[in-house]
Amino acid sequence: MSPSSYKNLIAWQKAMELVAMIYDATEQFPSHEQFGLVSQLRRAAVSVPSNIAEGKAHYSNRDFVRFLRHARGSVAEIETQILIAEGRKYLSPATTSKLAQQLDELGRILSGLISTLNKREQARGSESVAQDSGVGTQDHP
């Protein structure tokens, strides 16, 4: 992969951490939730880094922003589902708090990346295909 691969994006890395946290947190959910809340949480969590990767692969800031917005929507979906799980006593307050912190951080990172890309697109003033800029990577914060 190139130096500006989606794998270098901080947002993608944090999203991958979230996936692991969600899988770990849902491991002890009741078996009757396996095809309900467990499945919903896991699919929503997996969609976050997947949308970031897919958007980055399009090479256009406009498309990338669209996929980042989908990822941000999934973050809100997960947050809601975590609150439902806590209300059902499937998650401890401590686990809920850790997940909420990760979701908050990831949401801020996604919003910042979206804002930066939107500003670049506005400054460019055209719909031309953007060059791969590396914004949001560890090398280009």
User: CA-CA-CA-CA torsion for 87, 88, 94, 96, nearest 10 degrees?
Assistant: -70
d(C-alpha 12, C-alpha 47), whole Å:
11
Q: What does residue 91 show for φ and ψ, rounded to 5 degrees? A: -125, 145
pLDDT at 92 over 80: yes
Helices (H), strands (E): how many in the chain?
Answer: 4, 0
Q: What is the pTM of this model?
A: 0.85
Tokens representing 81? 């589902």
pLDDT at 39 over 70: yes
Homologous superfamily (CATH) for 6-120: 23S rRNA-intervening sequence (1.20.1440.60)
Q: What does residue 58 show for φ and ψ, rounded to 5 degrees? A: -75, -15
Q: Residues 120-138: pLDDT tens digits?
A: 878 876 544 444 445 666 6
- Which is more confident, 128 or 112? 112
Q: Residues 43-68: pLDDT tens digits?
A: 999 999 999 999 999 878 999 999 99
Element spanning 35, H or E: none
d(C-alpha 116, C-alpha 49), whole Å:
19
User: CA-CA-CA-CA torsion for 97, 88, 24, 18, nearest 10 degrees?
Assistant: -50
Tokens representing 1? 């992969």
- Which is more confident, 116 or 3? 116
